A and B are shown apart, each in its own frame.
Chain A
Amino acid sequence: MALFQIAEPGESAAPHEHKLAVGIDLGTTNSLVATVRSGIAVCLNDEQGRPLLPSVVHYNADGSTVVGYDARKDQAVDPKNTIVSVKRFMGRGKQDIAHLESMAYDFVDAPGMVKLRTQAGIKSPVEVSAEILKTLKARAEAGLGGELVGAVITVPAYFDDAQRQATKDAARLAGLNVLRLLNEPTAAAIAYGLDNGAEGVYAVYDLGGGTFDISILKLTKGVFEVMATGGDSALGGDDFDHRIFCWVIEQGKLQPLSPEDGRLLMMRCREAKEFLTKNPEAPITARLSTGEMVDLKLDVATFAEITRTLVSKTLQPVKKALRDAGLRADEIKGVVMVGGATRMPQIQKAVGDFFRQEPLTNLDPDKVVALGAATQANLLAGNKTGKDDWLLLDVIPLSLGLETMGGLTEKVIPRNSTIPTARAQEFTTFKDGQTAMAIHVVQGEREMIADCRSLARFELRGIPPMVAGAARIRVTFQVDADGLLSVTAREQTTGVESSITVKPSYGLSDDEIAGMLQDSLAHAKDDAMARALREAQVEAERMIEATEAALAEDPHLLNEAETAKIRNAIAKLQEAAAGDNRRIINIAMDDLGFETQEFAHRRMDQSIKKVLSGRKVEEIGTGDEQ
């Protein structure tokens, strides 16, 4: 596929061309990339035919990286420079991370998000994740033979704003155009529902390497509606490994281990866990650097016993999600199992007992999320085949609120609100002549601010001096379809508009992204400037394509003069994009954006009128009044 196609005025750029879009499951333990080929979602394998990419990144001293199976080999010999399960650190401060002491890394406590010191320098989890995404992007582009128009990247449903923003930043850093952040259980439901023509209320129990999600979804013809979601973003298969690890230390009466021995033993524990899904007993043997020999046997019953509290820890969010959905366990039609960790027999039994039915395992629990994401990416990229069309209504997992007097939380948007959503709250000044107000945005369910996650603090200045209580400050929370929040504040009474929009504090600034990009490209042939230019060109191409498509669809919404203005702006953008000045391209994009604003309004207006026309108010039945 050509990098840049310029269409002649009046014809849109290859309208029937299949756009290359992928779904990426960026997992704690393994990651995958999938796409839709000839109408079927398939995982894209590496050169050795393996679909999984271990989410492991090894940093070499020269700054180059090794990702995947090859990096995994390094973890026991060079644990400090080999990052595993980096997903656990995304959007997390040092104090948020469990079992920190048993990890071999050299942590650097940075504001907002923890960082890791490696021989290639200090790395943010965002950068580490970007290496994984870059590897998958390269795999996909090689496999599909062209540049991707975009990707759907999955995140645990229970990821908070910080974790989502970090994931999106990683994708940006990897040079991916993010079509959507999609919740993992929802992705699984798409793959399952479309495959099985399922209708009714389903639960998706998703236990991954480091995260646990439960989502309750209502599947009706063409609509996937999330009713409630819950989970624990720091509970997963890794914790089961850790329980075995503790058991081994205790049984073997081992002294404190070196980082290398710790990693080695942890790998043996993971292997034992996997072995126990099909066998009644697993050997755990390892020779430590001290010369000590570990030689133990773990049976299924003991394994179940030492992990009993972890299993029941997953059932609490399940109960809560059911309650939020207003349902009982016996009203669930089917339970879809997702994530490699659901292969553990004690999990299958606990879930089966709770819902009093056999869980559904007919889709590969490792692949189902990536396949669903690919299916959604195909839809979002506009590769519609006509009949394949569905609507996805997802929710935010955790309430969003503000700090009020006395360190209390005031909820502004409750959990399980369907996104996109917005809510405004009014505040006033409490002192005469007060001209500034501090606003503290938090996420979580607890009443005390200290128990919630702090997302952002900002100060609204320039409030005109008034008597206490006279100012009216309207704070608006907007959550977009990716589940990401932006906050706007505005003083209402005076008409003096003092409005700002904040991105929560852990989000990376454009400068930081540019810096990281420069770093990561220092070892590549490419350079950052060239890449930024190419990105602007691709963006321009997308914009021209979208505008051409709109013009072709709704020419009647514009008069001749308006059409001419838009055509003119398109021509200017085409000209700019053919050159190599990024600034001029950006200006031309802004101009086209400005010229099409009114057109966009009219198109939206028309589509809403269309759906409401043909139905008269009198036709409405009154069968199920309430």
Chain B
Amino acid sequence: MDLAADFFSLFGLPRTFRLSLSELDSRYRDVQAQVHPDRFANATEAERRLSMQWATRANEAYLTLKKPLERARYLLELAGHDLQAESNTAMPADFLMEQMEWREAVMEARAGGDHHELEHLYQRLRSDIAGRHDEIAALLDDAQDYALATDRVRRLMFLEKLLYEIDDALASLDD
């Protein structure tokens, strides 16, 4: 095991999108219990430095594997598929249209201070996203169709961003 090992191997987990979160939690904690700087407060300088590097790596790994979008992106990266998230933004017109409609609905609800509507949009989007997770799981774990998975993950990025914006709107109404 070395610091460059991939995040799945670090926790001894199979390299799949479908993942037991409770298992991830428990393995993350087991690893941290071994490597955390608090275990090395009295150790040699070399051990203290190593411990910080390992604990940092474990935190990064946990954060990446915990969130489905990040996990999917990471799996694509491991499979050698570049998401081209920034350079290639062409998306199909119908998807973009749908996005615009979502956005308008959010803006309208936000401007009108409609807490209830925002909550409703949030829940609807959440269930839409959950459905997409299932699709991505099938593409990555079963079909190993990385090309199509790349497209679906890019769509997911749009939706996650939208979800974040709704959350933000809800928060601003709370204040």
Q: Do A and B come from one complex?
A: yes
Which of A192-200, A246-254, A605-613 is found at the contact surface with chain B? A605-613
Any B CB within 8 A of the CB of A14: no
Any A CB within 8 A of the CB of B79: no
- Among B38-83, those with CB < 8 Å from A are 38, 41-47, 50-52, 54-56, 59-60, 62-63, 68
Which of B23-31, B88-96, B112-120, B143-151 is found at the contact surface with chain A? B23-31
For the complex, what is the distance from the CA of A93 to the CA of B29, rounded to whole Å? Answer: 40
A624 close to B32 (CB less than 8 A): no
B18 close to A625 (CB less than 8 A): yes
Any B CB within 8 A of the CB of A418: yes
In the complex where A420-B55, A480-B37, A620-B14 touch, is A542 in contact with B42 (Cβ < 8 A)?
yes
Contacts of A596 in B (CB 8 A): 44, 46-47
A611 close to B34 (CB less than 8 A): yes
B59 close to A380 (CB less than 8 A): no
Any A CB within 8 A of the CB of B127: no
- Among A247-277, those with CB < 8 Å from B are none
Contacts of B47 in A (CB 8 A): 546, 550, 596, 600, 603-604
- Among B1-24, those with CB < 8 Å from A are 1-2, 10-14, 18-23
A392 close to B54 (CB less than 8 A): no
For the complex, what is the distance from the CA of A625 to the CA of B16, rounded to whole Å? Answer: 11
In the complex where A593-B46, A601-B50, A626-B68 touch, is A608 in contact with B34 (Cβ < 8 A)?
yes
Contacts of A543 in B (CB 8 A): 44-45
In the complex where A391-B29, A481-B55, A610-B34 touch, is A624 in contact with B175 (Cβ < 8 A)?
no
B60 close to A617 (CB less than 8 A): no
For the complex, what is the distance from the CA of A387 to the CA of B55, rounded to whole Å? Answer: 23
Tell me the nearest residue of chain B to A609, going by C-beta.
B1
Tell me the nearest residue of chain B to A599, going by C-beta.
B46
In the complex where A481-B37, A481-B52, A601-B50 touch, is A611 in contact with B30 (Cβ < 8 A)?
yes
Instruction: Give min CB distance, A501 to chain B, whole Å.
Output: 13
For the complex, what is the distance from the CA of A418 to the CA of B60, rounded to whole Å? Answer: 9
B44 close to A380 (CB less than 8 A): no
Instruction: Give min CB distance, A248 to chain B, whole Å.
Output: 33
B38 close to A621 (CB less than 8 A): no
From A418, A593, A605, A608, B45 is in contact (CB under 8 Å) with: A593
For the complex, what is the distance from the CA of A434 to the CA of B100, rounded to whole Å? Answer: 41
Any B CB within 8 A of the CB of A304: no
Contacts of A323 in B (CB 8 A): 171, 174
For the complex, what is the distance from the CA of A610 to the CA of B51, rounded to whole Å? Answer: 16
Instruction: Give min CB distance, B28 to chain A, whole Å.
Output: 9
B32 close to A391 (CB less than 8 A): yes
Contacts of A480 in B (CB 8 A): 37, 52
A605 close to B1 (CB less than 8 A): yes
The B interface, classified by DSSP as helix, strand, loop or mixed, is helix
A391 close to B36 (CB less than 8 A): yes
From B20, B32, B37, B174, A621 is in contact (CB under 8 Å) with: B20
B29 close to A223 (CB less than 8 A): yes
In the complex where A550-B44, A607-B34 touch, is A420 in contact with B56 (Cβ < 8 A)?
yes
For the complex, what is the distance from the CA of A382 to the CA of B33, rounded to whole Å? Answer: 14
A481 close to B42 (CB less than 8 A): no
Instruction: Give min CB distance, B35 to chain A, whole Å.
Output: 7
Give chain B's interface residue range (CB within 8 Å of chain A): 35 or more
A380 close to B38 (CB less than 8 A): yes
B50 close to A608 (CB less than 8 A): no
Give chain A's interface residue range (CB within 8 Å of chain B): 35 or more
Any B CB within 8 A of the CB of A180: yes
B12 close to A615 (CB less than 8 A): yes
From B23, B29, B37, A420 is in contact (CB under 8 Å) with: B37
Any B CB within 8 A of the CB of A316: yes
In the complex where A480-B52, A543-B44, A608-B1 touch, is A391 in contact with B60 (Cβ < 8 A)?
no
Chain A, residues 576-617, CB within 8 Å of chain B (1/0): the string is 000000000000000011001101110111011111100101
Any B CB within 8 A of the CB of A183: no
Tell me the nearest residue of chain B to A322, going by C-beta.
B174
A617 close to B12 (CB less than 8 A): yes
Any B CB within 8 A of the CB of A288: no
Any B CB within 8 A of the CB of A474: no
B174 close to A624 (CB less than 8 A): no
For the complex, what is the distance from the CA of A547 to the CA of B13, rounded to whole Å? Answer: 33
For the complex, what is the distance from the CA of A382 to the CA of B43, rounded to whole Å? Answer: 10
- Among A512-553, those with CB < 8 Å from B are 542-543, 545-547, 550
Instruction: Give min CB distance, B156 to chain A, whole Å.
Output: 13
For the complex, what is the distance from the CA of A380 to the CA of B51, rounded to whole Å? Answer: 14
From A381, A600, A624, B21 is in contact (CB under 8 Å) with: A624
Any B CB within 8 A of the CB of A38: no
Contacts of A382 in B (CB 8 A): 41-42
Contacts of B54 in A (CB 8 A): 604, 608
Contacts of B34 in A (CB 8 A): 607-608, 610-611
Contacts of B56 in A (CB 8 A): 420-422, 478
Instruction: Give min CB distance, A362 to chain B, whole Å.
Output: 27
In the complex where A609-B1, A620-B14, A620-B23 touch, is A600 in contact with B50 (Cβ < 8 A)?
yes
Any B CB within 8 A of the CB of A339: no
- Given A150-B42, A621-B22, A622-B18, 20 other A-B contacts at CB below 8 A? A150-B41, A180-B38, A223-B29, A319-B175, A380-B41, A391-B33, A417-B63, A418-B59, A418-B63, A421-B56, A547-B44, A550-B47, A593-B45, A596-B47, A600-B43, A604-B54, A612-B1, A625-B19, A625-B21, A626-B21
Chain A contacts to B: CB under 8 angstroms: 149-150, 179-180, 223, 316, 319, 323, 376, 379-382, 391-393, 417-422, 478, 480-481, 542-543, 545-547, 550, 592-593, 596-597, 599-601, 603-605, 607-612, 615, 617, 620-626
24 A-B pairs, CB-CB below 8 angstroms?
A149-B42, A379-B38, A380-B41, A393-B32, A420-B55, A420-B56, A421-B59, A422-B56, A478-B56, A545-B42, A546-B47, A592-B44, A593-B44, A596-B44, A600-B47, A604-B51, A605-B2, A608-B10, A611-B31, A611-B33, A612-B27, A620-B20, A623-B20, A624-B21
Chain B contacts to A: CB under 8 angstroms: 1-2, 10-14, 18-23, 27, 29-38, 41-47, 50-52, 54-56, 59-60, 62-63, 68, 133, 137, 171, 174-175
